[in-house]
Amino acid sequence: MKFELTTDQRDFMTSLDRLIAASDPIAINRAWGEGDVAPGVALWGQLTDMGVPALLIPESDGGADATPVEMICAFEVLGRHAVPGPWIESAAFLATALTGGNRTAIAEGTIATVQVPPTTWALDADIAARIYSTGPEICAVAHLSEDQNGAEARKSIDPTRRLIDVTAAEPVEMTNVDHAHDLATLAAAAELLGAGERVLADSVEYVKQRTQFGRQIGSYQAIKHQLANVRIALDFARPLVHGAAVNPTPQSVSAAKIQAGEAAQLAARIGLQVHGAIGYTAEYDLSRWILRIRALNSAWGTPTAHRARLLDILTAAS
């Protein structure tokens, strides 16, 4: 089967890319990591006007009634620009799992986040207007844990990801929680794909400029081969992500997350190698994507967890 985006979907990605690029996203990323969320919140409002949080929400609840394909288009662009904030939690998980007015609030641009087992924390809960909690027996509105008020957030390798302990409070209706988790996983895979593409693009540009022994390092065959391997890995991951968006089954979603994570990790590793030590310094922009890739690769299910799920599915079918 051939997976090809429509003209409307490509135009949507182009418009989204231009909007985010014009907002100086790397400055927003750095500010968010330093605790200044105002520029990121302003960008959230602009993306709400573009309909990003409302993509998966039915028209009856104020949404766009789009498909997971449009969702991955948006999240690939978000990953390409390392846009911070609980986007996966709001626009993928909660947009699918919530009902009624709670879901309408997401479509209207309310910043929301969610705690999902086995963790006890939620991403950016200290700045979210609404916090939710899910568990094996209850789904609930949540609040910051008492010992978390005024305390430091848990450290992530990605400085823009603040992990806050939360406690479940009053129950709230949620539906299709497992499916919502799969769509959030797929959104993470799309972000990984976008981040990997950005690292590859920046690496190709860098090797054209850096010289050693009087030659551009990009002219060396070994470096060309390394970058070509990244290109191949990303090109193999993309159909899996698109295929999972067309038919988001547990099997297709896990396969997409694994492959997108591996491709992005390869992009990060080769990108760091061709840049040298400067690529990992906090002052150099490339590090923002390298750290985001490492964090997202374990978010919404580690590679080991998704391989185990795939194995269970395949052995059960045999």
3-state secondary structure 133-161: EECCCCEEEEEECHHHCCCCCECCCCCCC
Smallest CA-to-CA distance from 303 within 208, 215, 192 is with 192
Lowest mean pLDDT of 111-125, 135-149, 161-175, name the range: 135-149
Residue 3 lies in a domain: no
Residue 228 lies in a domain: yes
Question: 133: burial class by Cβ within 10 Å (0-12, 13-18, 19+)?
Answer: buried
Residue 160 to residue 298: CA distance in whole angstroms: 15
Q: Specify the pLDDT at position 147.
A: 56
Phi, psi values for residue 65, rounded to 5°: 55, 40
Residue 242 to residue 237: CA distance in whole angstroms: 9
What's the whole-number mean pLDDT along residues 74-87? Answer: 98
Residue 80 to residue 71: CA distance in whole angstroms: 14
Q: Mind listing the pLDDT tens digit for each residue in 208-248?
A: 887 676 677 766 788 889 999 999 999 999 999 999 999 99
b (16+ CB within 10 A) / e for 60-76: ebebbebebbbbbbbbb
Smallest CA-to-CA distance from 264 within 286, 240, 296, 242 is with 296
Return the SS3 of 92. Answer: helix
Q: Mind listing the pLDDT tens digit for each residue in 274-298?
A: 988 787 788 889 999 999 999 999 9
Residue 32 to residue 291: CA distance in whole angstroms: 14
Residue 25 lies in a domain: no
Q: What is the CATH number of the domain that holds 254?
A: 1.20.140.10
Q: Specify the pLDDT at position 16.
A: 97
How many C-beta atoms surround the C-beta of residue 316 within 10 A? 7
Residue 210 lies in a domain: yes
Q: Mind listing the pLDDT tens digit for each residue in 18-52?
A: 999 999 999 999 999 999 999 999 999 999 999 99
Residue 192 lies in a domain: yes
How many C-beta atoms surround the C-beta of residue 128 within 10 A? 23
Residue 236 lies in a domain: yes
Q: Are strands 130-134 and 139-144 parallel, antiparallel or unpaired?
A: antiparallel
Structural domain span for residue 239: 179-317
More confident residue, 108 or 169: 108
Number of domains in the chain: 1
Q: Specify the pLDDT at position 13.
A: 97
Residue 149 lies in a domain: no
Lowest mean pLDDT of 70-79, 106-115, 147-156, name the range: 147-156
Q: Mind listing the pLDDT tens digit for each residue in 167-202?
A: 888 899 999 999 999 999 999 999 999 999 999 999
What's the whole-number mean pLDDT along residues 5-10? Answer: 94
Residues in the chain: 318
Residue 194 lies in a domain: yes
